[in-house]
Amino acid sequence: MPTFGQYPSPNDGNDDFTPGSTIQSNEADGNFAALSAYLNSQFVDDAVTAVASLSGDRLVDDSVTDQQLRKFNAGTPGEAAVQTNCIEDAAVTIEKIDPSVIFPGGVPANSVGSAQIIDGSIAQVDMDDDSVGTDQLRDGEVALAKLATDATNYIDGTGQLLARLYYTANNTFTKATYPTAKYIVVQCIGAGGAGGGCDAAAGSEQALGGFGGGGAYAERKINTSALSASESVVVGLGGTGVSNGDGNDGGDSSFALGQGYQVMAQGGKGGTKMNSGVLSVSVGGGAGGTNGASIGEIKSGGNAGENGTRIDDFVIPQGTSGAGFYGGSVKAPSGSGNGEVGNGPGAGGSGGRNAGPSGAKSGGNGFNGRVIIEVYS
C-alpha cells in the first residue's frame, strides 16, 4: 500500500493525527484535510517558505517570510525562539537567526545609538561607545572606519589657523591682535652670504670668487600665555658683495631674542675672493648657517656655497651658491661680471667672475632671511 511520507497521520482512522505516523492511501481523503488543518495552525496567513520553515523553536537557513511569524505553538518557546516582536511585517530572512542577534532585554551599552552617529552620516565599521560623539561627525559626513575621539577635535575650533604672518623686515608681534590665540609656531630663516669677488684681469687671466652660503632654519611652538604683550621680530639682511673682496656674511633672523622661548636662525657665510691669474687655484665658498649656532625646537643647517675654481687659465663656472631653506641657489655669470644675487629667502650669492681682460668684480649679494609666524586658536 503506497505512503505519502512521514507526515502526521491517524493510527485509528479518525481525523486526529499523531506526529510521525504514516498516511495510508485509503485514508488520504480525511487525512489530508486534517494535515492541512495541522499545518495551518503552525503558520500565519500568506506565509511562504523555500524549505521547511520551522525546526524546533527557530527559523532554519534559507527560510523566507513575508508576514510576521507567531510563536511556534507546539510547546512553550525557549529564550532563543523567534518572538513576534523580533521580525517585522514584510521582513525577509535568508539564514537562520542567531539568538545573539536578538536582544529581548534591550540594546547593549556598547552599540551605536542615535547619539553617536548624527543625521546623514554613514559608518561601514562598528564604532565603540566612546569613539564618535554628536560633535565629531557633521551632517552629511561619511566615515569608512572607526574614528578616535581626538581625530576630529578641529571641529570645535581647537587648533584652527587664524593667521599666517610673513615678515620681510624687522617688526613687532603684538599678542593682543589675536585674543583667541592659544599658541603660535615661529619659523626663522637666516639670510644668505654674499659671493666672493675678484680683482682685475689682463690678457688670458681668469678668476671666480667663492659662492655664498645659505642661511639656517629654526622653528618653535610657543603658547601665547608665555609671550610678552609684544615681541621683537628681526629679519636678517643678505650679505653684500665686495669688489675685489670677500663676500659679507648674511644676518641672523630671530623672534623674541633673549627670552627663554627665543627662536634664531644663523645666516650663511660669505665666499672668498679670487685673484686673477693663469695658475690652477681654488678659493672657499661660504659655510651655511649651522644647527649649533641656531636656537629652536626644530633646526636645519643651510647649504654651503661651492668653491671658486680655476684650472690653469680656465675657470669652472658650474658651481652654485648655498640654497636657503626654500631653495634659491644661483650659478656664476656666463662671462665676466659681478656675481648673481641669491634667488630666495636665505640663499647665498654667486662669486664674481673675470673671463679675460676686465676690471675688478664683486660677488652677488645674499638674499634676505625671513620670519614666518602662524597663529592658532
Q: Which domain holds residue 227?
A: 157-377
pLDDT at 101: 52
Residues 123 and 142 in one domain: yes
DSSP for 239-271?
PPP-BTSPPPPPPPEEESTTSTT-EEEPPPPPP
Grid look-up 599666517 returns 164
Residues 125 and 150 in one domain: yes
Evaluate whether residue 189 is within a structural domain.
yes
Per-residue pLDDT reduced to its tens digit, 120-170: 555 444 444 444 444 554 555 454 444 444 443 443 456 899 999 999 999
Per-residue pLDDT reduced to its tens digit, 184-209: 999 999 999 999 999 999 999 999 99
Number of folded domains in the chain? 2
Residues 286 and 376 in one domain: yes
pTM of model > 0.75: no
pLDDT at 323: 86
Using CA atoms, how far residue 155 sits from 113, 129, 242, 276, in Å, is 21, 19, 55, 65
pLDDT at 295: 97
Evaluate whether residue 66 is within a structural domain.
no
Evaluate whether residue 101 is within a structural domain.
no
Residues 178 and 123 in one domain: no
Residues 197 and 241 in one domain: yes
Evaluate whether residue 2 is within a structural domain.
no
Pick from 121, 136, 156: which residue ends a domain? Answer: 156
Residues 149 and 163 in one domain: no
Residues 274 and 126 in one domain: no
Evaluate whether residue 288 is within a structural domain.
yes
Flag residues of the chain having pLDDT under 70: 1-158
CB contact set of 14 (below 8 Å; sequence gap of 6+): none
Q: How many CA within 13 A on the CB side of residue 282?
A: 9
pLDDT at 297: 97
Residues 360 and 372 in one domain: yes
